[in-house]
Amino acid sequence: MPKISITLPDGSVKKYDQPVTGEALAADIGPGLAKAALAVRINGELKDLYLPIESDAEVAIITAKDEASLELIRHDCAHVMAQAVQELFPGTQVTIGPVIEDGFFYDFARPEPFTEDNLAVIEKRMHEIVDRDLAIRRQVWERKKAIKHFKKIGEAYKAEIIGDLPGDEEISIYSQGEWLDLCLGPHLTSTGKVGHAFKLLKVAGAYWRGDSRNQMLTRIYGTCWHQEKDLQAYIERIAEAAKRDHRKLGQQMDLFHFQEEAPGAIFWHHKGWALILQLVEYMRARNQKAGYEEISTPEILDRALWVTSGHVEKFGEDMFYTSTPDGREYVIKPMNCPGGLQVYNKGIKSYRDLPLRVAEFGKVHRFEPSGALHGLMRLRAFTQDDAHIYCTEAQLQDECITVTRLILDIYKDFGFEEVTIKFSDRPPQRIGADEVWDRSEAALLKAIEATGSDFSHSPGEGAFYGPKLEFVLRDAIGRDWQCGTLQVDLNLPERFDATFVGPDGERHRPVMLHRALFGSLERFAGILIEHYAGHLPLWLAPVQTVVATITSDADVYARQVHGKLVAAGLRSESDLRNEKINYKVREHSLAKVPALLVVGRNEAENSTVSIRRLGAKEQQILPLDEAVAALQAEARMPGCPAKGA
């Protein structure tokens, strides 16, 4: 009587008298599969191919076609790299080497860190180890023996990891040839299965266990694919992202610059500023439609106010300070809310005033760690499209839903269709009663539900003063950017003693919400530049049209065309230089001007323009007035009624 029955993915069942390995099972199904087999999935869990299956199970043979197999070869590739490193650089300790998106890394402890120059040598040795086709085998060791072994060979970090594993966990050690590593597995059956489609990408420092108080290790990043063409495609993908880099495009398009005297702050040139102004105009219109008022509060406020708000205590090390000759100490605001609360507190608020929605395009300064600065994406001086909503607890739910809908709707206008929401709830250290946290968290969750959005839960990641939602959008090449945020604040209304008079004639504490949609205008501009690869849609483009002449005979007409475009509200420039049209086309194309209006003798005589759109090879000849009207219509801000309409 067969003892073990194996159910395959197609529903068929194979029966065996004794335990069977994944290898044997694959061979039993077919020689092609035996050759392609990389691992097995037993009851949903990935396992090594050579381990016996002891009891009835649902089993699938994993081959290169399975998504999971990429993780396997990347993990093995990390091990091959670790082996190569230890062969080449004796005395280097291994720590951890996980699979990450598109690749893997391994962290090493070594007095002398690796540099990029070492990568080629390590890569070469890795290819040799793959060619050795070493069998990879799993062993289970007794805990004490494992710790003793790793200590003996000088692997203090590995010994520490084993010591910290839960008591009931098996200590599995994988060997490939002479080389051993502690690892949960599973792995391929031999180093040969890794193949040669891998590449080491960069070296970096990384703290042991991700804690900046610990020793810094040296990390090597790599990527690994089944086939060379996949590797090449990945390398091209990285190159494509580099081409979109907003710092590079920002220079090419003459949008902004940075310089040493203002680390983390930006000099906007007029074209870049035009983009920012357009974002502000858009958000103002949306705010106005959504029932917001707008205020503006001082950028420099007495330090005492920041003591009251709690910022000095909590973020004192991360703020800009300034003092005046009269000896007063000020803080350059890192947030708009304390200033906003001063406006709220001026005069007495009634429950009839709520919900009160107050927007502020506030420029804030934060003394970010120098290593965190990154173009427009992480600045020390940036502008928030901030707003604070003061409401009653009863209104909290509706306000959360309305804000969430507004955010999602606005992202669509910028071509971001895929948005996920991150929900962060109460951290261990917090202020406020648990019942209030219960209600606040429930309100945010309900808002997610009401919009039917995808969301992820980050337990304990909320701010100390309240839970929050963070809105993450996916750009044209699949990268995620966290932009918008909606936070409940249980702290500041208390600290500044904000109140409203209720129907009962008593003073009550309002609930305060913080919300930003773009987050930072500068950062959002950077994201847009990368999302569109500089090809901003007409309504956002800094220079929307350029009128370029073919000969100087058309100069007078070109001025007339340009004048009409400007009168129609378009950001237009004219190019009457004594240059060939090829030269002009090339130059304005590189500057990412969306619409080039070429005029020569023909156009001047017929009152037409030849429109060449960015990226197109063909032109379109249109009567001047028709062309202006069409461009004007296209340049209209989405989501808002036309001005004066």
CB of 258 to RNA, least distance (A): 6
Cα–Cα distance between 346 and 355 in angstroms, integer? 16
What beta strand segments (E) does 452-589 contain? 454-458, 468-474, 480-489, 500-501, 507-508, 511-520, 545-549, 572-575
For RNA, the binding residues in 299-318 under the rule CB under 7 A are 311, 314-315, 318
- Selected from 13, 459, 583, 641, the binder of RNA by CB under 7 A is 583
For RNA, the binding residues in 518-547 under the rule CB under 7 A are none
Q: Which is nearer to RNA, 402 or 610 (CB)?
A: 610
Structure tokens at 354: 């709520």
Judged on CB neighbours under 10 Å (0-12, 13-18, 19+), 58 is: middle
| x/- track of binding to RNA for residues 372-411 (CB under 7 A) | xxxx--x---------------------------------
For RNA, the binding residues in 113-142 under the rule CB under 7 A are 113, 115-116
Q: Which residue has the tokens 């709220």?
A: 344
CB 534 within 8 A of CB 252: yes
The residue from 468, 531, 571, 588 that is catalytic is 468
For RNA, the binding residues in 434-493 under the rule CB under 7 A are 463, 487
Which is it for the CA torsion 315, 318, 322, 323, positive or negative?
positive
Residue 347 engages RNA in binding (rule: CB under 7 A): no
Cα–Cα distance between 206 and 209 in angstroms, integer? 9
Cα–Cα distance list, 354 to 222, 488, 499, 502 (Å): 55, 16, 11, 10
Q: What is the dihedral of CA 291, 297, 302, 304, to 10 degrees?
A: 0
| x/- track of binding to RNA for residues 602-621 (CB under 7 A) | xx------x-x-xx-x-x--
- Selected from 75, 219, 286, 515, the binder of RNA by CB under 7 A is 219
Residue 626 engages RNA in binding (rule: CB under 7 A): no
CB of 188 to RNA, least distance (A): 26
Q: Is 86 a catalytic residue?
A: no
- Selected from 260, 435, 504, 506, the binder of RNA by CB under 7 A is 260
Cα–Cα distance between 454 and 138 in angstroms, integer? 39
Q: Which is nearer to RNA, 193 or 612 (CB)?
A: 612
Of the candidates 473, 276, 283, the residue with the CA atom closest to the CA atom of residue 376: 276
Q: Can you count the helices (H) and strands (E) in the chain?
A: 20, 35
Q: Which is nearer to RNA, 391 or 488 (CB)?
A: 488
CB 424 within 8 A of CB 458: yes
Q: Which residue has the tokens 């398009």?
A: 253
Residue 33 engages RNA in binding (rule: CB under 7 A): no
CB of 144 to RNA, least distance (A): 31
The residue from 75, 349, 514, 592 that is catalytic is 514
Whats the size of the chain, residue-wise? Answer: 645
- Selected from 42, 73, 335, 444, the binder of RNA by CB under 7 A is 335
Q: Is 133 a catalytic residue?
A: no
Q: Which is nearer to RNA, 260 or 434 (CB)?
A: 260
- Tell me the pairing of strands 99-100 and 103-109: antiparallel
CB of 296 to RNA, least distance (A): 19
Q: Is 139 a catalytic residue?
A: no
Which is it for the CA torsion 160, 162, 163, 166, positive or negative?
positive
Q: Is 514 a catalytic residue?
A: yes
Residue 550 engages RNA in binding (rule: CB under 7 A): yes
Q: Which is nearer to RNA, 195 or 362 (CB)?
A: 362
- DSSP characters over 374-402: BTTTB-SEEEEEEEEEEE-HHHHHHHHHH
Q: Which is nearer to RNA, 167 or 210 (CB)?
A: 210
User: What ranges in 141-211 are assigned the alpha helix state H?
Assistant: 143-152, 156-164
What SS3 state is found at 549? strand
Q: Which is nearer to RNA, 260 or 326 (CB)?
A: 260
The residue from 388, 523, 588, 592 that is catalytic is 388
Peptide bond into 355 cis (omega under 30): yes
| Residue span binding RNA (CB under 7 A) among the ranges 37-45, 165-173, 191-199, 589-597 | 589-597
| x/- track of binding to RNA for residues 159-198 (CB under 7 A) | ----------------------------------------
What SS3 state is found at 134? coil
Q: Is 3 a catalytic residue?
A: no
Q: Is 337 a catalytic residue?
A: yes
CB of 637 to RNA, least distance (A): 26
Residues near 313 by beta carbon (within 8 Å), at least 6 away in sequence: 307
Residue 246 engages RNA in binding (rule: CB under 7 A): no
CB 398 within 8 A of CB 291: no
| Residue span binding RNA (CB under 7 A) among the ranges 10-18, 222-230, 255-263, 346-354 | 255-263
Cα–Cα distance list, 506 to 153, 175, 276, 489, 499 (Å): 73, 73, 44, 22, 10
Residue 57 engages RNA in binding (rule: CB under 7 A): no
CB of 379 to RNA, least distance (A): 9
Q: Which is nearer to RNA, 20 or 203 (CB)?
A: 203
Of the candidates 182, 92, 200, the residue with the CA atom closest to the CA atom of residue 138: 182
Of the candidates 280, 539, 538, 286, the residue with the CA atom closest to the CA atom of residue 407: 286
The residue from 337, 391, 400, 483 that is catalytic is 337
- Selected from 11, 325, 371, 503, the binder of RNA by CB under 7 A is 371
Q: Is 149 a catalytic residue?
A: no
SS3 content of the chain, % helix, strand, coil (to 5): 40, 30, 35
| Residue span binding RNA (CB under 7 A) among the ranges 2-10, 74-82, 140-148, 551-559 | 551-559
CB 329 within 8 A of CB 225: no
Q: Which is nearer to RNA, 97 or 264 (CB)?
A: 264
Q: Which is nearer to RNA, 193 or 592 (CB)?
A: 592
Residues annotated as part of the active site: 337, 366, 384, 386, 388, 468, 514
Q: Which residues of the chain form contacts with RNA (CB under 7 A)?
A: 113, 115-116, 202-207, 210-212, 216, 218-219, 245, 247, 251, 258, 260, 263-264, 311, 314-315, 318-319, 334-335, 366-375, 378, 463, 487, 514, 550-553, 578-583, 585-586, 589-590, 596, 598, 600-603, 610, 612, 614-615, 617, 619
